[in-house]
Amino acid sequence: MRAKVFEIAAMLNGRVEGDGNIILDTICKIEEGKPNGLSFLSNPIYLPYIYQTQAGAVLVNETMVFDKPVMATLIRVPDAYSAFTRILEIAQDQQHKTGIEQPCFIASDADLGKEVYVGAFAYIGSKAKIGNNVKIYPQVFLGDNVEVGDNTILYSGVKVYSDCKIGCNGIIHASTVIGGDGFGHAPQPDGSYKKIPQIGNVVIEDNVEIGSNCSIDRATIGSTIIRKGVKLDNLIQIAHNAEIGENTVIAAQTGVSGSTKLGKQCKIGGQVGFAGHIAVADGSQIGGQSGVTRSITETNKDWFGLPVMEKREALRISLLLAKLPELFKKVKDQKI
């Protein structure tokens, strides 16, 4: 990105305080500001840096007041964080590649939309349907009958098995696997296990972002479903026939067992484990390292612990547990 301060302000409907003709060509943190760099300030914790930053310009909230002179040029906007996010989106768009690199394999009956980028060593299988402006980075594998909607980005090493469907405006980060077999094995009389064929698929709706090294297993029959607006961190396991509700966010290293359904607008911390065949109500917030072993039917509540319980109760019990050694000593000394 290369633009003058006043041009950036115009993009964001902002107001310039200072030199609007400074040319900016990089984006930087406020504490690591550069004369040709654009930074932002929205969190008060970083307020001291505004007085010493070397950044050429800083995005700030239009209501922000400073008690000392600020040397940097300011771009005042209604919401500095949102404005900076928009700048990052513009910078990212400018980095996107176009065209089809060689060597790669595209089946003769695959259907590619307009302005598609296909990186080297990518594989696109038979009857795959790729929408407009899709970005397929090197070493991506798309199996037969896979569908990818408009404006979706698949980063290097993503694997999408046959028959899976990915919606529009999605982002799937490197080395994630979509549609691997669900973990289904039937015990046999001799103690061995026989693999249960997994003939379903995975359906990922619009505006979903999935981090790197995630695994979303195909359904035994039917579909494993990731609803629109879901955001998944890195290193997450979603098992067969699970369903993640609309606009739910899940932090790293969480595992969702088979046929479990999470509701809309849930917020799941890191390293949470969900047992299979349960349901979690809309708006549930689950604290990190919790174990959810039963269905949650009450909406919009905070939960924590193993086994999971209401957060206030879990914290109260945690405080009491810390006092157990002292209580034990008292009981022992009194020889009760």
Residue listed under structure tokens 């064929």: 197
Number of C-beta neighbours around residue 235 at 10 A: 18
Element housing 24 (H / E): strand 23-24
Amino acid type, 233: D
Q: Are strands 73-77 and 15-17 parallel, antiparallel or unpaired?
A: antiparallel
Phi-psi sector, 301: left (phi>0), alpha (psi -120 to 50), beta: beta
The length of the chain is 336
DSSP letter string over 189-205? TTS-EEEPP---EEEE-
Positive or negative: CA dihedral 95, 98, 103, 105? positive
Cβ neighbour number for residue 68 with a 10 Å cutoff: 8
* Residue 333 CB partners (closer than 8 Å, separation 6+): none
275: left (phi > 0), else alpha (psi -120 to 50), else beta? Answer: beta
Phi, psi of 231, rounded to the nearest 5 degrees = -125, 120
Q: Catalytic residue among 96, 185, 240, 277, which? A: 240
Are 87 and 104 in contact by the 8 Å Cβ rule? The answer is no
Concerning whether 96 is annotated as a catalytic residue, the answer is no
Amino acid, single-letter form, for residue 254: T
SS3 content of the chain, % helix, strand, coil (to 5): 15, 30, 55
Under 8 Å between Cβ of 181 and 164: no
Give the H/E segment covering residue 59: strand 57-61
Q: Which residues are catalytic?
A: 240
